[in-house]
Amino acid sequence: MSDMRTVFASAASSVLDEDPLAAVVLAEISADLFAKAAARHPDRVLNVGIREQLMISVGGGLALAGLRPIVHTYAPFLVGRAFEQVKLDLGHQEARAVLVSVGASYDAARAGRTHQAPEDVALIDTVPGFAVQVPGHPDEVAELLRGAMGVLDSGSTYLRLSTESNRSTLPLWPGLQVVRPGRRAVVVAVGPMLSPVLDAVSDLDVTVAYTTTVRPFDGEGLRALAADAADTVVLVEPYLAGTSAYAASAALAGRSAFRLLSIGVGRYELRRYGTPSYHAARYGLDATGIRRSVTDFLGA
């Protein structure tokens, strides 16, 4: 099975072949995966070197020229390093692009903090007009990329790829999708958190709902599911804990009472190397940690 990045490069190359206005902007990362596409479309596959600010601005300029740019690199460089360009050269200009990152929160656990971006979705979420898609399986990537290109006229998309993956894929659905029903709580699993969540709550009487679409957040769907599950909600997100808490709170604000638990990457620096699974365990994002948090929250 190909990983998400390989699937993305293949899908984006096909998009370039089919759509004469599509373009890809790179900053060295993944340039090898786009070599054939660059040979076919030298004017629309641009590698600007190790210049992430320029990469985002070039994406903005291409959009101003009427193109549909895909801009891609490692998450901390795509979102954090060039955030002013994301905010102004895309958001403020109303120049639209599909930003595709790799690396996620701690795919590069061995590389250390410089190559990790648990804050990426929270940052992007401050820029009006961005949808956020977090695939949970490589087989979901091509459809999400094509979907993002299809809605570029109405807004930009941040597509967050990871080497973490669920065991299997589900048919994609724009909002929350019930994987299994229950009565005591709704556990929302975002992207690659579905498999660990299912393992964590296998014997608990809770609804598990899956989504790849983080923004726009499916508040209506959450409200409906929570009404049948004691108005108790657990968000399990593979990035900064609480990133979607305000959206869930807004969705549930009309209820007389609700309970909300946000599970995600902790707001501190681990300062350890190791593997992604080691980091997941340390942040309580493996099945054991999720189970502990959920059972503590629900009570015996």
Partner 1 sequence: MRRALAALRLDDMRTYAELPRLMTAMTGDEKHGPSATSTLDVLWVLYDQVLRVSPDRLDDPGRDRFLLSKGHGPAAYYAVLAAKGFIPEPWLAGFGSAGSRLGYHPDRNLIPGVEIASGSLGHGLPLGVGLAHGLIARGLLTPRVFVLVGDAELDEGSNAEAIVYAGAVGLANLVVVAVDNQSSSFGWGRGGIEAHFAVSGWSVTRVSGRDHAALAAALSASGSGEGPRLVVAAVEGKAES
Q: CA 135 to CA 142: how far, in whole Å?
A: 10
**Binder to partner 1 among 53, 169, 249, 288 (CB under 8 A)?**
53
For residue 100, what are the β-bridge partners? 72, 159
Rg, C-alpha atoms of the chain: 19
Q: CA 84 to CA 91: how far, in whole Å?
A: 10
Q: Which stretch binds partner 1 (CB under 8 A): 46-54, 170-178, 179-187, 249-257?
A: 46-54
By CB under 8 A, is residue 148 in contact with partner 1?
A: no
- For residues 66 and 299, which CB has a smaller minimum distance to partner 1 in the complex? 66
Give me the long-range contacts of 147-152 (CB less than 8 A, separation at least 24).
147/172, 148/98, 149/15, 149/19, 149/22, 149/68, 149/70, 149/98, 152/68, 152/96, 152/97, 152/98
**Binder to partner 1 among 11, 59, 132, 194 (CB under 8 A)?**
59
**And the tokens for 200?**
């964590």
Q: Which stretch binds partner 1 (CB under 8 A): 57-65, 116-124, 138-146, 242-250?
A: 57-65
- For residues 49 and 274, which CB has a smaller minimum distance to partner 1 in the complex? 49
**And the tokens for 254?**
């009309």
Q: CA 122 to CA 243: how far, in whole Å?
A: 6
**Binder to partner 1 among 6, 14, 93, 249 (CB under 8 A)?**
93
By CB under 8 A, is residue 44 in contact with partner 1?
A: yes
CA neighbor of 237 nearest in space, from 190, 285, 178: 190
- For residues 87 and 282, which CB has a smaller minimum distance to partner 1 in the complex? 87
By CB under 8 A, is residue 153 in contact with partner 1?
A: no
**And the tokens for 215?**
């923004």
**Binder to partner 1 among 11, 15, 29, 46 (CB under 8 A)?**
46
Q: Which stretch binds partner 1 (CB under 8 A): 52-60, 135-143, 252-260, 287-295?
A: 52-60
By CB under 8 A, is residue 128 in contact with partner 1?
A: no
Sign of CA dihedral 295, 164, 207, 176: positive
Phi, psi of 129 (to 5 degrees): 90, 5
By CB under 8 A, is residue 135 in contact with partner 1?
A: no
By CB under 8 A, is residue 73 in contact with partner 1?
A: no
**Binder to partner 1 among 1, 66, 257, 300 (CB under 8 A)?**
66
Phi, psi of 162 (to 5 degrees): -150, 160
Neighbours of 163 (CB within 10 A): 16
- For residues 63 and 260, which CB has a smaller minimum distance to partner 1 in the complex? 63
**Binder to partner 1 among 31, 88, 122, 224 (CB under 8 A)?**
88
Binding site for partner 1 (CB under 8 A): 21, 23, 25, 43-44, 46, 48-49, 51, 53-54, 57-67, 69, 84-85, 88-89, 92-94
